Amino acid sequence: MREEPHAPLEDGQVRFKVDSFAFTANSVTYMVAGDMLGYWDFYPFDLSWGRSPVMGHGEVVESAHPDVPVGGRYFGWFPIATDVVVTVEPSASGLRDVGEHRSSHNLVYRTFEASDDPASEDHTALIRGLFTTSFLADDFLADNDDFGATQAIVLSASSKTGIALGWCLTRRGHHAIGATSPGNAEFVRSLGCWDEVVTYDELGDLDGSVRTNLVDMSGNSDAVSTVHRTFDGTLGHSMLIGMTHWESPRSSDPLPGPAPAMFFAPSQIDKRLAEWGSDGYDARVGETWKEFSAWSNDWLTVTRYSGIEDAMRAYQSVVAGHAKPNEGLILSLNE
């Protein structure tokens, strides 16, 4: 933990107290892929330190903006920190980060939404962003006629992003196969959002004659290779979203079929905003989010950690892969 003295705010800046934030396997992906996807640029520090972005809630505790009062609570991307200074301007939904270094980032990453429902904040921090990614990934597949496939295999089906995608796929009637580790298989089956659940060592036993898409939340190159080779000639699309198995060795060996392609959710957002309009987009995502959020109450347990020492233990647990799939961790560096 590095401490920095508070400098006076400049015009247009606010100081957020980072009240709490979710830390999930997806948070590790932000770190691992941070250089490639620009996550480390959200809150730059210096050459030897980085502040990875996480989804959470913050309160304005100091303001040098005439239209932004102290006391407002907001949901959005915050750094892993006790507080942060951001240059903002009011927006229709809350505040927008207008710092010069953020100008190249998609608007979805620069928006702080006003929070008016304290009871739902934990679930919102834990799964709303992950759900939106999965909603858009499913929408991308459907928008491309599923690349001719009749089913999708999702690696890391116990991850919260994986669960959300399985739920979205089956919701629209698309055959969803969830792949997971043996230790998580029972939990994944109990969710009821998958048509089939297999363990990673069973991927090669699937029927390779069925036109299939692959969605990789794991970064497990062995599992990806098995699917590509099993469905050689019948793989429609290979999508990379996450790296829950971030420690797995990366392979540069060529794979049969379509090359794995990173899914960038903001691109699909921009496409749908152009086609549906802002109100139409918000309505579609909002309605589906309400359904998923209500469903998640049946299986998602929230555990909170406060203070630097407890938060560090929780952080290390997730990085080491010890977090339980039905548990969501909410951290705060503030006591």
Is residue 59 helix, strand or coil?
strand
* Unique residue bearing structure tokens 């980085």: 50
In this structure, the answer to whether residues 224 and 317 fall within a common structural domain is: no
Structure tokens at 228: 């590509």
In this structure, the answer to whether residues 89 and 168 fall within a common structural domain is: no
Q: What is the 8-class DSSP label of residue 189?
A: H
**Start-end of H helices in the chain:** 25-32, 34-37, 121-123, 129-143, 160-171, 182-191, 221-230, 265-296, 308-319
In this structure, the answer to whether residues 262 and 155 fall within a common structural domain is: yes
Domain holding 250, by residue range, is 128-266
Asked if the structure places residue 95 within a domain, the reply is: yes
Of 251, 266, 281, the last residue of a domain is 266
In this structure, the answer to whether residues 178 and 239 fall within a common structural domain is: yes
Number of structural domains, the chain? 2
What is the per-residue pLDDT for 35?
A: 55
Q: What tens-digit pLDDT sequence spans the chain (335 residues)?
A: 556 667 899 999 999 999 999 988 777 666 665 555 566 677 766 555 557 788 999 999 999 999 999 999 999 999 888 999 999 999 988 999 998 888 777 788 889 999 988 888 999 999 999 999 999 999 999 999 999 999 999 999 999 999 999 999 999 999 999 999 999 999 999 999 999 999 999 999 999 999 999 999 988 889 999 999 999 999 999 999 865 544 444 556 789 999 999 998 889 999 999 999 988 999 999 999 999 999 999 999 999 998 988 888 888 888 777 778 899 999 999 87
Asked if the structure places residue 272 within a domain, the reply is: no
Spatial separation of the C-alpha atoms in residues 282 and 222, rounded to whole Å = 38
Spatial separation of the C-alpha atoms in residues 97 and 103, rounded to whole Å = 9
In this structure, the answer to whether residues 90 and 188 fall within a common structural domain is: no
In this structure, the answer to whether residues 154 and 243 fall within a common structural domain is: yes
What is the per-residue pLDDT for 107?
A: 81
Structure tokens at 302: 């929230």
